[in-house]
Amino acid sequence: MSKVVILDHPLIMHKLAILRDVNTNSGLFRQLVKEIGMLMGYEVTRDLPLEEVTIKTPITETKAKMLSGKKLAVVPILRAGLGMVDGILELVPQAKVGHVGLYRDHESKKPVEYFCKMPQDTDQRELILVDPMLATGGSACMAIDMLKRFNPKNIKLVCLVGAPEGVKELQEKHPDVDIYLAALDERLNEDMYIVPGLGDAGDRIFGTK
């Protein structure tokens, strides 16, 4: 069974509260999604392996620890996931970026695939799949199905807000994928939106509503 980690750092909680506010405009919303992406990226990369290297300081030679070259790719689920990418890339600028394009059909609420472009060496990489919202879990499950075709080494799912229904779906369909959330909300409403949630993340990031 995959683990569910709630990253309830005070800075994340504070920024998420502003994000939820209906009066927060698109510019600020976009900035906060990026900042929370960075803070979550910091926690999600906590287990990256290190190796000992020898370096020369201005004073003496010493041993120090550096990332052991483990390869990462950040993969946003389009569109809303794009908002989280830049924050993570500021921490790991050498990471590659894959893209999975899905939209949730307004009637059926089921995800529809429209794009997939991954780095050539995805089978060598650890993947950080990002999307602000984990509602029914349909989009994340389909995205992970698509990623697994590339046989990556390891996949982590990072979302800002999750619903219990989505977490359950993920754990049933992909028990090998750990889930990182800033908040686990109460439930879904009849339109399959997260309650209390923050509304439509893609529309709020891109100002399309």
- The whole-angstrom separation of Cα 36 and Cα 28 is 12
Min. distance of Cβ 71 from ligand PRP in angstroms? 25
DSSP-assigned letters across all residues of 169-199: HHHHH-TTSEEEEEEE-SEE-TTS-EESS-S
Under rule CB under 6 A, residue 194 binds ligand URA: yes
- The whole-angstrom separation of Cα 28 and Cα 183 is 19
**CB nearer to ligand URA: pick between 133 and 146:** 133
**CB nearer to ligand PRP: pick between 134 and 183:** 134
Residue 199 assigned to a binding site = yes
Candidates 62-70, 118-126, 149-157, 200-208 — which segment interacts with ligand URA by CB under 6 A? 200-208
Residue 178 assigned to a binding site = no
Q: For residue 182, what are its two tokens?
A: 């800033």
Residue list 114-153, contact with ligand URA (CB under 6 A): 133, 135
| Burial tier of 174 (Cβ tally within 10 Å: 0-12, 13-18, 19+) | buried
Residue 194 interacts with, from ligand URA, ligand PRP, none (CB under 5-8 Å by kind) = ligand URA
Element counts in the chain: helices (H) and strands (E): 6, 13
- Give residues in contact with ligand URA (CB under 6 A): 133, 135, 193-194, 197, 200-202
| Binding region for uracil | 194, 199-201
